[in-house]
Structure 1
Amino acid sequence: MNVKQRTIKAAVAVSGTGLHTGESVTMTFNPAPENHGFKFRRVDLPGSPVIDADVDNVTDTSRGTTITQNGASVSTVEHVLAALVGLEFDNMLIDLDGPETPIMDGSSMPFVSALVEAGYVEQDADREYYHIPYNIHYSETDRKVEMVAMPLDDDYRFTCMVDYNSPVLGTQHATISSLSEFKKEVASSRTFCFLHELEMLLKHNLIKGGDINNAIVVVDKHVDKEELAHLATLFNREDIDVAPQGILNNIELRHQNEPARHKLLDMIGDLALVGVPLRGHIMAARPGHAANVAFAKKIKSLIKKERSRKHIKVYNPNMKPVYDTVQIMNILPHRPPMLLVDKILELTKTHVVGLKGVTMNEPFFQGHFPGAPVMPGVLQIEAMAQTGGILVLNTVPDPENWLTLFLKIENARFKDKVLPGDTLIFRCDLVAPIRRGIAQMKGIGMVGEKIVVEAELMAQIVKYK
């Protein structure tokens, strides 16, 4: 049974203060259409720029995760994204009237509560999971970070270990076997920091919106009464003390291993930036935002590579051609050495596939790196254009009386060398219907399963006889 995508039933807003900016901010969750994903919209800026929740848009991980796009940024997105993933939403447009999401109590629970109250609606489109295909590893030796994503067909599971060499915090573990456990086991876990980090942040005025109630402060050093009084003044409190557990202000932990659970929460939020729902088991030792983002980029890169392969058909160069070289010369006016297409393997109304066998006998190798022969990129584009010309000329009854003139070549990219002995196969697809003899095409050139060249072409056929 296919799982349907879901979005929020009705808009719902939460208001609070940004942890680092100290600015008041209102954040509104809005319904979004199918396949929209998660996007933030800065409604306080001219034009209300939209920022995709995408790992490629991450610009800072020093004090939370910041994403930037279209000249706008949103900071501390991880707690919000964790709530969306934990409740298994797929599509959401999140309006913000400031540069940072509200810290609330330092956890995801205020967002979870608002989203649950608003409810969800199933959409028509199926949710498309990415199933981790094999163990994917990431590590940072200097920070002793280890992360691995392992195959798990039917759920999204997390295991997290934190160890800061602290006698107070010690080594902690947290785990959930399913996202269905997120609301109860993880969502309420608050962010934490060590007292020496807090002092540094306060000294540099980096937590203007901080409050002793929205972060667990681990006291990792001796603190005298004078320093406690100073902290109380900074946080506008009558007094601050150290609990027996080594936590500042006698704050009651919601879970004995709340710091580890919060690190797990951060992982869920940061990995949402992969952009697709995942199926697999994520295990991490000593994770942080920078490592989470690097790991997310590694997973996204694998997804992009696999998806590109799915769209590439590997052609048999020995298959019976639609047109051989002689038949091509009856259509194209080109002749050797400028005829750069040997066969047409497929031809429909919307796409064409052509083949060029590259041999050491090509005349251009006499002057183009004869000691290290490489097919010139401009000639690869010319061969692609000739292949596309067959597609356009196929729309007229007397192609031998027409010329194909290329009006524009855009976004040409050369991804690998083409060498003697390679079989270069081109595929050109129409991206719009042919009108008044003008065709717009997307072309790729492949050697085996690898794309070596791609470009966007615009051509027009004109009668010359």
Structure 2
Amino acid sequence: MQKTIKQTASCTGIGITGQTDCTVTFQPAPPDTGIVFIRKDLPGQPEVPCRPEYARVDARWTSLVNNDIRIDHTEHLLAAIAGLGLDNLKVSLSSPFIPVVSSFSSRDFVQALLKAELVLQDRPKRCFRVKEPVCIVNSFFHQEKRYDRFLLALPAPELILTYLLDYPDKEIPTQLAQFSFANSLDFASELATARSYITEGEYETVAKLIGKNMEDCLVITKGPLNLQWDNEPARHKVLDLLGDIHTMGRPVKGHFIGIRTGHKDNNQLCQKLKMQVKEAL
């Protein structure tokens, strides 16, 4: 059955560019509404439905853009919504930016939504089902050597995400993470708290993009790291993949396998996927 929340909840933090405070507010929505973002800061309070044709990757994060109305940095919030199995929500923003919370994880969003109480609705879920394999292959160069990135979607009776993190120079040891989404409490404890990260070599570039948010960013160095799990970076990649897949606007059933991939690959896959999926009840 479809699911929403019982009461209103909110989260406050700093926008992804590190310049302004912003608030996101979750409100219950009727069955078959889907996820709808509302820019409360703009005249007329325009709405942007969560749909794949509006998804864009302009920087190091994913956004939804409709008629120049932007919802920036969607992946961690959409991951929280998807991981908890929510189908219908109104999400109001005080700025173009969804706030950064809990070291770029989904933890605070999940806690706010759970506090708002998840409730079942009297309509069956409307899902997208992967009906045939879809593959994205891209490449990059490191020290004049080519490396490939792969993202594959396969038919499966439930949502399963697998990610292989493999840096060419092993700044982060090669690691694997896999997650299925049968239990929202498992998601809350085992995936939602996985923090975003950068490597030392990326520090200056990222600092220019996110400003004071660098204070909350996990920086991978050669010294000892206080990780929640040995494969926390790979788990965060799974979290990002979950959020980006949910730009489809509905729950998705399929097995997604990523190797060295990121937001741009995820978005490319969703653009292909929307042409090759069928609706299933």
TM-score if structure 2 supplies the norm length? 0.91
1:201: how far off? Answer: 3.0
Alpha-carbon displacement from aligned partner over 1:190-248 (angstroms, at most 9, x marks no partner): 1111122221233xx32124143x2211237xxxxxxxxxxxxxxxxxxxxxxx33x5x
Which structure: larger Rg? 1
Residue of structure 2 aligned with 1:16, choices 4, 13, 16: 13
Q: What is aligned with 1:417?
A: none
1:147: how far off? Answer: 1.3
The one-letter code matched in structure 2 to 1:187 is A
Alpha-carbon displacement from aligned partner over 1:306-364 (angstroms, at most 9, x marks no partner): 56xx9xxxxxxxxxxxxxxxxxxxxxxxxxxxxxxxxxxxxxxxxxxxxxxxxxxxxxx
The one-letter code matched in structure 2 to 1:171 is T
Matches within 5 A, 1:215-226: 215-219=217-221
Contact 2:130 2:276 in 1 (8 A): no
Cα distance in 2 between the residues matched to 1:51 and 1:195: 36
Cα distance in 1 between the residues matched to 2:33 and 2:191: 26
1:179: how far off? Answer: 4.3
The residue matched to 2:239 in structure 1 has which SS? helix
Verify: 1:144 aligned to 2:159, yes or no.
no
Cα distance in 2 between the residues matched to 1:56 and 1:23: 28
Structure with greater contact order relative to length (CA < 8 Å, sep ≥ 6):
2
Cα distance in 2 between the residues matched to 1:167 and 1:60: 26
Residue of structure 2 aligned with 1:129, choices 114, 118, 127: 127
Cα distance in 2 between the residues matched to 1:87 and 1:61: 27
Cα distance in 2 between the residues matched to 1:50 and 1:166: 44
Q: What is aligned with 2:144?
A: none
Residue of structure 2 aligned with 1:49, choices 43, 46, 51: 46
Q: What is aligned with 1:195?
A: 200
Residue 6 to residue 22, structure 1, CA distance change in 2 (3 Å): same
Between the two proteins, the alignment pairs up a number of residues equal to 271
Structure 2 gaps of 5+ residues are 141-146
Cα distance in 1 between the residues matched to 2:78 and 2:177: 19
Cα distance in 1 between the residues matched to 2:64 and 2:251: 19
- Matched residues, percent identical? 31
Matches within 5 A, 1:152-301: 152-153=156-157, 155-180=158-183, 181-202=186-207, 205-212=208-215, 214-219=216-221, 244-245=223-224, 247=225, 252-301=226-275
Cα distance in 2 between the residues matched to 1:179 and 1:164: 30
Contact 1:42 1:95 in 2 (8 A): yes
Structure 1 gaps of 5+ residues are 221-243, 311-465
Matches within 5 A, 1:309-320: none
The one-letter code matched in structure 2 to 1:128 is R
Verify: 1:302 aligned to 2:276, yes or no.
yes
Contact 1:157 1:179 in 2 (8 A): no
Runs of 4+ with deviation above 3 angstroms = none
Cα distance in 1 between the residues matched to 2:180 and 2:42: 41
Cα distance in 1 between the residues matched to 2:204 and 2:12: 27
The residue matched to 2:122 in structure 1 has which SS? strand
Q: What is aligned with 1:74?
A: 71
CA RMSD of aligned residues (A): 1.8
Contact 1:156 1:177 in 2 (8 A): yes
Alpha-carbon displacement from aligned partner over 1:158-186 (angstroms, at most 9, x marks no partner): 11011122334121110113342321211
The residue matched to 2:238 in structure 1 has which SS? helix
Alpha-carbon displacement from aligned partner over 1:144-167 (angstroms, at most 9, x marks no partner): 1111112222x2111101112233
Residue 209 to residue 74, structure 1, CA distance change in 2 (3 Å): farther
Contact 1:36 1:92 in 2 (8 A): yes
